[in-house]
C-alpha cells in the first residue's frame, strides 16, 4: 500500500510540472504593434507655474492608444519630460496611468521640472512624450513629442525662515514669491544665512512661517524683530539697528548692495558680510 501511495504522489508531481511547462509554452508573446500618439499639449503651449496655484490643473495630457499583439493586454502609460533637444537622454517621469488622458496639476508638473534640473523662475523649453509598456519589463513604445514652454517656481525648504520689508528686494509684500527665503545653512540645525541685496535706510523683519498666500503671515508670534534678538542678548551687527517704527523692525544702515546676512542661534550673533 505504501508503494502505491508513493507512485501516486510521484505521478501527481510529474503532472503538475508538465502542466506548468505547458502554461509557459502556451503563454502568448506580447510584442509591440503601434506606438501611442501624443495629442496635447502641443508646441504652442506655454505656462508660468506658481506656488499659489499649485492645486490647479496645469494641462491635460491626451494621446491615442498604443497597441500590442495581445489586444486584451493592460497597457501602462508614463508621461515623460526632458530638456529640449536632448532626445530624452535623461527623461523625467511626471506620472503614470492606464488611461489615455491625464490631468497634471501645477504642483506635479513643477515637481517634475525642478527634479529634472530645469531653471527656476525662467522660461524653459520642455520636450514631452508618452511611454507605453505592457507589464513591468515589456517592450516600450514611445510617442511623438512636442516642445512646450514652462516657467517653474522655486520650491522652498520646509525649514526655511523668511525676510520681508522695504530693505529686501520684494518690499513689504507676500505676493507671488516677493518674500526672501532665509534657509538653514547646509548641515546645520540652527544657523540661517542668505545672500541678499539690502536697501540702505530701510527696514525688514524675519518671519518663521509662510502660508504662501498674498495676505502673508503677519501674526506677532510668527516673526522676530530687532528687540526679540537684542532682548535675548544677541550680538547684532552695527549696520543693523532698531528701526523705531512701532514694530521694532530691523533697519539696515549700511550701503545699498549685496550682503550675506547670517543669524547664528548657537553663537547668538547676527552678522553682515
pLDDT, mean over the chain: 89
Q: What is the pLDDT of residue 6?
A: 52
Provide φ and ψ at 40, rounded to 5°.
-145, 150
Q: How confident is the model at residue 262 (pLDDT cuts 50, 70, 90)?
A: very high
Q: Which domains does the chain have, with CATH numbers?
A: 32-151 (2.60.40.10), 161-272 (2.60.40.3620)
Q: What is the pLDDT of residue 29?
A: 67
- Residue predicted with more confidence, 79 or 23: 79
Q: What is the pLDDT of residue 100?
A: 97
Q: What is the pLDDT of residue 23?
A: 47
CA-CA distance, 226 to 241, in Å (whole number)?
Answer: 7
pLDDT surpassing 80 at residue 208? yes
**Joined grid coordinates for residue 267:** 553663537
Q: What would the pLDDT profile of 45-69 be if each residue is shown by its tens digit?
A: 999 999 889 999 999 999 999 999 8
> Which DSSP category does 165 fall into?
B
3 state SS of 237: coil
User: What is the reported pTM?
Assistant: 0.69
Q: What is the pLDDT of residue 4?
A: 56
The percentage of the chain sitting over the pLDDT mark of 90, rounded to a whole number, equals: 74
Within 8 A by CB and 6+ apart from 225, the residues are: 205, 206, 247, 248, 249, 250
79-86 average pLDDT score: 97
Q: How confident is the model at residue 31 (pLDDT cuts 50, 70, 90)?
A: confident
Provide φ and ψ at 125, rounded to 5°.
-85, 120
218 C-beta neighbours (distance < 10 Å), count: 13
183-199 average pLDDT score: 96
> Which DSSP category does 185 fall into?
P
> Which DSSP category does 235 fall into?
E
Q: What is the pLDDT of residue 136?
A: 66
Q: How confident is the model at residue 15 (pLDDT cuts 50, 70, 90)?
A: very low
State which H helix or E strand residue 114 sits in. Answer: helix 106-115
Q: What is the pLDDT of residue 5?
A: 53
Q: Are 165 and 225 in contact (CB under 8 A)?
A: no
Q: What would the pLDDT profile of 90-115 be if each residue is shown by its tens digit?
A: 999 999 999 999 999 999 999 999 99
Q: What would the pLDDT profile of 215-229 be if each residue is shown by its tens digit?
A: 888 877 899 999 999
Amino acid at each position: 500500500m505504501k508503494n502505491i501511495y508513493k507512485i501516486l504522489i510521484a505521478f501527481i508531481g510529474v503532472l503538475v510540472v508538465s502542466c506548468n511547462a505547458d502554461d509557459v509554452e502556451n503563454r502568448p508573446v506580447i510584442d509591440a504593434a503601434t506606438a501611442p500618439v501624443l495629442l496635447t499639449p502641443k508646441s504652442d503651449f506655454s505656462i508660468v507655474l506658481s506656488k499659489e496655484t499649485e492645486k490647479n490643473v496645469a494641462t491635460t495630457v491626451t494621446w491615442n492608444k498604443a497597441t500590442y499583439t495581445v489586444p486584451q493586454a493592460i497597457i501602462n502609460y508614463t508621461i515623460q519630460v526632458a530638456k529640449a533637444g536632448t532626445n530624452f537622454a535623461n527623461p523625467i517621469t511626471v506620472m503614470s496611468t492606464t488611461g489615455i488622458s491625464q490631468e497634471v496639476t501645477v504642483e506635479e508638473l513643477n515637481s517634475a521640472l525642478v527634479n529634472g534640473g530645469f531653471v527656476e523662475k525662467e522660461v524653459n523649453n520642455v520636450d514631452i512624450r508618452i511611454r507605453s509598456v505592457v507589464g513591468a519589463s515589456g517592450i516600450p513604445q514611445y510617442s511623438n513629442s512636442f516642445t512646450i514652454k514652462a516657467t517653474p517656481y522655486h520650491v522652498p525648504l520646509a525649514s526655511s525662515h523668511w525676510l520681508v520689508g522695504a530693505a529686501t528686494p520684494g518690499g513689504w509684500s507676500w505676493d507671488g514669491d516677493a518674500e526672501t527665503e532665509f534657509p538653514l545653512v547646509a548641515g546645520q540645525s540652527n544657523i540661517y544665512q542668505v545672500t541678499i541685496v539690502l536697501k540702505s535706510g530701510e527696514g525688514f523683519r524675519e518671519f518663521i512661517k509662510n502660508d504662501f498666500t498674498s495676505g502673508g503671515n503677519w501674526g506677532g508670534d510668527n516673526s522676530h524683530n530687532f528687540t526679540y534678538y537684542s532682548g535675548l542678548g544677541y550680538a547684532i551687527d552695527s549696520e543693523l539697528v532698531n528701526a523705531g517704527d512701532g514694530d521694532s523692525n530691523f533697519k539696515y544702515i549700511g550701503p545699498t548692495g549685496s550682503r550675506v546676512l547670517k543669524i547664528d542661534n548657537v553663537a547668538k550673533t547676527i552678522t553682515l558680510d
